[in-house]
Amino acid sequence: MQNSFSLKNMTKGTPPRVPFVAIKDKILGKNYDLSLVFATKALSKKLNNAHRGKNYPTNILSFPLDKMSGEIFIEPIQTRLDAPNFDMSYTQFSKFLFIHGCLHLKGMQHSSTMERAEKKFLKLFS
């Protein structure tokens, strides 16, 4: 597969400098087809409401499309607001969220196992 990663920026800002492809390849594999969207607050709120029944924007949403493809939506304004709550910079927290989303696409649920995997990949890509 030629291009198994695409990034779309729907915001006015510049996406953070994060090794998205390397992280995707390490967690999901080189042949996994992943689309990353930096979404507006309105789109994040709309998707969160439609898919989770929560009527507010969220920093990340991930959607598996099939076994070998998925989409991740990151909302940068919410990410910037949430980063200090995790003692991280905007870029560090964006990396953490991307790892978190990839792990969900791999089938992991929130748990101590997922938290250990997040820490492992954060350290690997620090």
Q: How much is the average pLDDT of 80-100?
A: 97
R_g of the chain, CA atoms, integer Å: 14
pLDDT at 1: 47
Give the CATH superfamily of 5-124: Metalloproteases ("zincins"), catalytic domain (3.40.390.30)
Q: Tell me which residue has tokens 């620090």.
A: 126
pLDDT at 46: 97
Yes or no: say if 17 and 91 are a contact pair by the CB < 8 Å rule. Answer: yes
pLDDT at 58: 95
Q: What are phi and psi of 38, to 5 degrees?
A: -90, 105
- 8: pLDDT strictly greater than 60: yes
Domain ranges of the chain: 5-124
Tens of pLDDT, residues 18-35: 999 999 999 999 999 999
Tens of pLDDT, residues 48-79: 999 999 999 999 999 999 999 999 999 999 99
Q: How much is the average pLDDT of 98-114?
A: 96
Tens of pLDDT, residues 109-122: 999 999 999 999 99
SS3 state of residue 38 = strand
Both structure tokens of 54: 């929560």
Task: Give the whole-number percent of the chain exceeding pLDDT 70.
Answer: 98
What's the rounded Cα separation, in Å, for the pair 11 and 123? 28
Q: Tell me which residue has tokens 């998205």.
A: 20
